[in-house]
Amino acid sequence: MTDLEKLRERTAELADLECVQMLLGWDQQVMMPSEGAEARSQQLGTVARLNHELARDEQLGRWLDGLDRLDGSGLDGVDADIVRLARRDWERARRVPDELAAELASAGAEGQQRWQQARAADDFSMFAPALERNVTLAREYGALVADDGHTPYEGLLGDYDFGVRADDLRTLFGALADGLLALVEDAERYSPPVTLQVPVPAQEVAVAGTLARLGVDPVGWRVDVSAHPFTAWIGRGDTRVTVRYSDGNVESLLAALHEYGHALYERQIDPALIRTNLGRGTSMSIHESQSKLWENHVARSSPFAELLAAELATAGFAIDPGELYASLTGVQRSLVRVTADALTYPLHIVLRFELELALIEGDLTVADLPGAWSEGVRRLLGLEVPSDALGALQDVHWGAGSFGYFPSYALGCLIAAQLWETLERELGSREEELRRGEGGSIRAWLGERVHRHGRRLDTTELVERETGAPLSIDPFIRYVEPLARPR
């Protein structure tokens, strides 16, 4: 076998192991009897360790060196990208000593546990030492994996959105916050929150009907219920989304469309890239852009509300489409990220970005975090934080050792809006198609312009190439502006 063949075989094995990890995780959340938890965590640990060993293997480096000596000659586009990404992934993997990898894993596991206990007790001080340890380790890890001229925080970002610069985020998110703050009071006035009482069985019918219209069929998909909605791509032709239901507003439908967006991305990657290191979504923010596109631009659209009202009617729940639309688009500043509306959601992310950047760069101590959180919520959301549980203990991410992940949530909103504007500029308004509950042209456009590339294009490169403009806040501001006008 040539070095390239060996490399491709290894990437196929690694891709398989990632699918196996997906399945272990999906099963854990959806199917596993509760007493299997301990064994499952051991199984996940063993597969992750084997995956890591194969990813940082010295042999892989020798194949890459062999290919470097060929100097790219004779490699076609896909193979050249396989080699380029393999070099990047291998370099990043091998810069992390085994001891640090083990310490990161154990600190992340312990941090999650401490976070849970501290949140239940509403006492940040119980969490502080574990967070301190996570910050220190993340800083060390970020410095090791950062490319030359990049900061440790950018090293951390690279695990989720390779190539994104912290200064660019600072500028972008600063302007985003200003733009949203200029709209929020009017939006609260003209798009007030609306509470519905849609029974769960009607929601179930609407979710099943809507997903079926969008191509979710039982031969290639599963739709199950879990405590937190998520998507697992177990392999080509095997995509699994989960939803959850509660009486009230139709958040289940927003969540279902959100997960559908993630799922569709992985399903429409060029088949030629499957079982290579290019055969998955390129970054967290492009992934989030796909979920947000279906959540914000499809599910929260007025024509879609008509369709959804019709679906609910078939389940015996009569509702005016306008009222349904109002419930999907109501704006009100609140303390909680995960239930925030489309307009104020990014403000929660800007807060977290500012704070985690300051923690990693040493401009903020862990002890000062709760105070800084309160100050940020006052500035960005105009609210007072009444407790740690609703403040600095709100999200698990830092407890689990994830720094640099939060930006992708806001970047996803921005990129979704920018892609949607491009799509409608090129294809014309999708209103009629959405009213019919179809999505064929949207799926095809996304497949061609975003999905098929897999990891061949990084975040900013993909956005610029496919929208013809650098990443910008303007399309998102244009998307939320109508909410701040009289309806």
Q: Which residues bind its own copies (CB under 8 A)?
A: 12-13, 16-17, 19-20, 23-24, 27, 31-40, 42-43, 45-47, 49-50, 218-222, 234-239, 275
- The residue (of 33 and 74) whose beta carbon lies closer to its own copies is 33
Residues with Cβ within 8 Å of 155's Cβ and at least 6 positions away in sequence, in order, are: 141, 142, 143, 144, 145, 146, 147
As measured in angstroms, the least distance from the Cβ of 418 to its own copies is 32
Residue pair 471/164 in contact by the 8 Å Cβ criterion: no
122: its two tokens: 């509403």
As measured in angstroms, the least distance from the Cβ of 20 to its own copies is 6
As measured in angstroms, the least distance from the Cβ of 24 to its own copies is 7
Distance CA 73, CA 83 (A): 12
- The residue (of 238 and 368) whose beta carbon lies closer to its own copies is 238
- The residue (of 111 and 279) whose beta carbon lies closer to its own copies is 279
Distance CA 283, CA 286 (A): 5
Residue pair 414/176 in contact by the 8 Å Cβ criterion: yes
Through-space distance between the first and last CA atoms of the chain, rounded to whole angstroms: 66
- The residue (of 22 and 366) whose beta carbon lies closer to its own copies is 22
As measured in angstroms, the least distance from the Cβ of 377 to its own copies is 40
- The residue (of 59 and 339) whose beta carbon lies closer to its own copies is 59
Distance CA 21, CA 27 (A): 10
Distance CA 89, CA 182 (A): 42
Identify the three-state secondary structure at position 101. Answer: helix
Helix 37-56 vs helix 58-70: angle between axes, to the nearest 10 degrees? Answer: 40
Strand-by-strand arrangement of the 231-235 sheet: 221-225, 238-243, 231-235
- The residue (of 25 and 61) whose beta carbon lies closer to its own copies is 25
CA separation, residue 315 to residues 50, 218, 249 (Å): 48, 21, 15
Residue pair 414/471 in contact by the 8 Å Cβ criterion: yes
Residue type at position 285: S
As measured in angstroms, the least distance from the Cβ of 16 to its own copies is 4
Q: What is the DSSP string of 190-231?
A: HS------B-HHHHHHHHHHHHHHTT--TTTEEEEE-SS--E
| Residue position matching structure tokens 């806001």 | 410
As measured in angstroms, the least distance from the Cβ of 218 to its own copies is 6
- The residue (of 151 and 239) whose beta carbon lies closer to its own copies is 239
As measured in angstroms, the least distance from the Cβ of 33 to its own copies is 5
As measured in angstroms, the least distance from the Cβ of 63 to its own copies is 18
Give strand pairing partners of 225.
243
- The residue (of 134 and 239) whose beta carbon lies closer to its own copies is 239
CA separation, residue 244 to residues 207, 230, 241, 263, 389 (Å): 10, 10, 10, 16, 23
Helix ranges, 158-199 (H):
166-190
Helix, strand, coil % over all residues of the chain, rounded to 5: 65, 5, 30
**Which residues are annotated as catalytic?**
259
Distance CA 93, CA 48 (A): 13
